[in-house]
Amino acid sequence: MRVTDLSKRFWPSRRILLRSVLLVMIPLVVLCVGLYLYAAGGRYVTTENAYVKANVIIISPEISGRVTMVGIEDNQPVALDQVLLKLDARPYEIELARTRARMDVIGTELNSLRADYREAEVQTEQANEKVKHFKRRLERQKKLRNQGLGSKNSMTRPTMHCSSRKSRCRSTSSACRKSWLPWAVMLPSQLNTSAISRGTIDSRTGRCRPRRHHLAGPGIGCGQQYETTGRGIRPGR
């Protein structure tokens, strides 16, 4: 028997040895790589945000109200300034009438206050003239007394009249100012028309609102489509 035959009998061939190594090493390498990937990134989950934009135009009216008419349907092409829906204008018409009535009341009150102010001014002027008259009489009585032609009793009456007219003048001026104090007015030419301006603004706002109950599509180009999403818009909502 040869030595080579003995070596072949006790030692496996290269092919068998390579096959054995590959069968053991390859699964081991795959297992190690899998464990590394699991330990490195498998415990954390990452997401990416995506946004989907539908071809729908959002519209909103400038005022709130009940829808009385919808002039379009789903997927219907619309033109510029086409009426999309109508709102109930009756609540705003009622508000406009109430504002106009409030303006009339304010105007009546202001006219009455103007008349009271003019009357108080006239009374103040009359009181000032009487004060000047009694002052002149008082000065004349003083001169007569200094000349020895008058008595002390003759000066009492002009002095009392002068004092009473001064008090009357002050009370009239005070009443004149108090009559215009709620309106913060000092003179008729400087009339503070804040209440009238506020009523005018309310009236204009109320007058404009009924015109806005027709909702058109500003910025909607010709040929674009309108789609009611969700529950949609129906009359009565």
Does residue 182 belong to any structural domain of this protein?
yes
Q: Do 124 and 202 belong together in one domain?
A: yes
Asked whether the predicted pLDDT for residue 155 surpasses 60, the reply is no
- Between 101 and 80, whose confidence is greater? 101
Q: Do 100 and 35 belong together in one domain?
A: no
- Between 84 and 61, whose confidence is greater? 84
Distance CA 224, CA 80 (A): 9
pLDDT band of 148, cuts 50, 70, 90: low
Does residue 58 belong to any structural domain of this protein?
no
Q: Do 36 and 105 belong together in one domain?
A: no
Termini Cα distance of the chain: 109
pLDDT band of 214, cuts 50, 70, 90: low
**Backbone angles phi and psi of 103, in degrees to 5:** -65, -40
Q: What's the pLDDT score for residue 223?
A: 39
Give 174-189 pLDDT, tens digit per residue.
Answer: 666 665 555 544 444 4
Distance CA 121, CA 116 (A): 9
Give the domain CATH number at 128: 1.10.287
Asked whether the predicted pLDDT for residue 86 surpasses 60, the reply is yes
Q: What's the pLDDT score for residue 230?
A: 37
Q: Do 34 and 72 belong together in one domain?
A: no
Q: What's the pLDDT score for residue 152?
A: 57
3-state secondary structure the chain: CCHHHHHHHHCCCHHHHHHHHHHHHHHHHHHHHHHHHHHHHCCCCCCCCCCCCCCCCCCCCCCCCCEEEECCCCCEEECCCCEEEEECCHHHHHHHHHHHHHHHHHHHHHHHHHHHHHHHHHHHHHHHHHHHHHHHHHHHHHHHHHCCCCCHHHHHHHHHHHHHHHHHHHHHHHHHHHHHHHHCCCCHHHCCCHHHHHHHHHHHHHHHHHHHHEEECCCCCCCEEECCCCCCCCCCC
Distance CA 28, CA 20 (A): 13
Number of domains composing the chain: 2
Does residue 50 belong to any structural domain of this protein?
no
Q: Do 119 and 7 belong together in one domain?
A: no
Mean confidence (pLDDT) of the chain = 67
Q: Do 92 and 158 belong together in one domain?
A: yes
Calculate Rg over the CA atoms of the chain.
Answer: 51
Structure tokens that stand for 38 in this block: 């699991």
Range of the domain at 204: 67-226
Q: Do 133 and 27 belong together in one domain?
A: no
Give 69-83 pLDDT, tens digit per residue.
Answer: 888 887 788 888 888
pTM: 0.41
Q: What is the mean pLDDT of residues 72-95?
A: 83
Q: Do 177 and 82 belong together in one domain?
A: yes
